[in-house]
Amino acid sequence: MPWNDKYEHRGDLVAVDVAATVAFVIQHPDEGKDAATAGLAAMESVLRAYQKIVEQDPQAHSKEMDDVAEIQRQGKLEGYVRSRWSETCKNLVIPLADSLVCHNDGSDEASCITPPRQIHSPKPKYPKTERKARHEGTVALMLVVSTDGAPRDIAISQPLTPDFDHAAIDALKQWRFSPAMKDGKPVAVAIAIKIDFKLEH
């Protein structure tokens, strides 16, 4: 996506991008097979979300997103998206929630995907303020597991409190996975993760 890694609303836009891609593939299974078509639908959703962000906070502009918004106004968004997809197709992210998952029981279809598996998942540090207040809960997140098993594009899908949310993200950044596999090759997939915060009673 065309935003700087340091853009403060990057997580919000990543969440919109992943959710919109998954929704499009589910609602339009035939068209969803074309990654660029799904990418175009997702980009349109991201641009709508970006517009709402800058309407609420005029200081929240991103040069990269402003440039894409201008491309959209010129009616050239589809060509832009298809060009980007052709350049980055090797890094295509597959929404695991809508994929055919391998069960390794002899009944798998050829196009199935073996999901990523956690191989290093340290527990999050319990925020001191939340521990003192005896607060508990669960943070839901979305992320992409890269072909090397590293997590990226981490975004909160169901927040708890800022302290819990930050602790969950910090922990997830340290996780490592065995990558998802398709046709014997590693693929990047978008997955959902929940991190629980529970006190010892």
The CATH number of the domain holding residue 181 is 3.30.2420.10
Please check whether residues 108 and 83 belong to one and the same domain.
no
Contacts of residue 160, Cβ cutoff 8 Å, sequence gap at least 6: 137, 138, 139, 168, 197
26 in Cβ contact with 98 (< 8 Å): yes
Q: Which letter does DSSP use for residue 4 in this model?
A: -
**2 falls within a domain:** no
Res 196: pLDDT: 95
Statement: residue 32 has pLDDT above 50:
no
Please check whether residues 107 and 187 belong to one and the same domain.
yes
* Domain boundary residue, one of 36, 70, 91: 91
**3 falls within a domain:** no
Per residue in 58-106, pLDDT (tens digit) is: 888 888 889 999 999 999 998 888 776 655 544 556 667 767 888 776 6
Q: In angstroms, what CA-CA distances link 43 with 24, 48, 69? A: 11, 9, 10
**4 falls within a domain:** no
Please check whether residues 87 and 105 belong to one and the same domain.
no
Per residue in 117-145, pLDDT (tens digit) is: 999 999 999 999 999 999 999 999 988 89
Please check whether residues 86 and 55 belong to one and the same domain.
yes
> What do you get for the CA distance between the two ends of the chain, in Å?
44
**14 falls within a domain:** yes
CA atoms within 13 A on the CB side of 18: 26
Give the confidence band of 169 by pLDDT, cuts at 50, 70, 90.
very high
**142 falls within a domain:** yes
Statement: residue 35 has pLDDT above 90:
no
What length is written for the chain?
201
172 in Cβ contact with 143 (< 8 Å): yes
Domains in the chain: how many in total?
A: 2
Closest CA to 99 of 193, 191, 8, 36: 191
5: amino acid identity, one letter:
D
Determine the Cα–Cα distance for residues 201 and 199; give it in Å rounded to an integer: 6
Please check whether residues 126 and 161 belong to one and the same domain.
yes
**149 falls within a domain:** yes
Please check whether residues 187 and 122 belong to one and the same domain.
yes
Please check whether residues 36 and 124 belong to one and the same domain.
no
Please check whether residues 55 and 72 belong to one and the same domain.
yes
Res 98: pLDDT: 66
Closest CA to 72 of 45, 54, 32, 92: 45
* Domain boundary residue, one of 68, 91, 114: 91
Per residue in 180-194, pLDDT (tens digit) is: 998 888 988 888 899
* Domain boundary residue, one of 30, 59, 91: 91
Res 30: pLDDT: 66
Please check whether residues 86 and 115 belong to one and the same domain.
no
Please check whether residues 15 and 47 belong to one and the same domain.
yes
Cα angle for residues 153, 161, 149 (degrees, 5° grid): 25
**Structural domain containing residue 121:** 97-197
Please check whether residues 85 and 120 belong to one and the same domain.
no
**1 falls within a domain:** no
Determine the Cα–Cα distance for residues 16 and 46; give it in Å rounded to an integer: 6
**145 falls within a domain:** yes
pTM of the model: 0.56
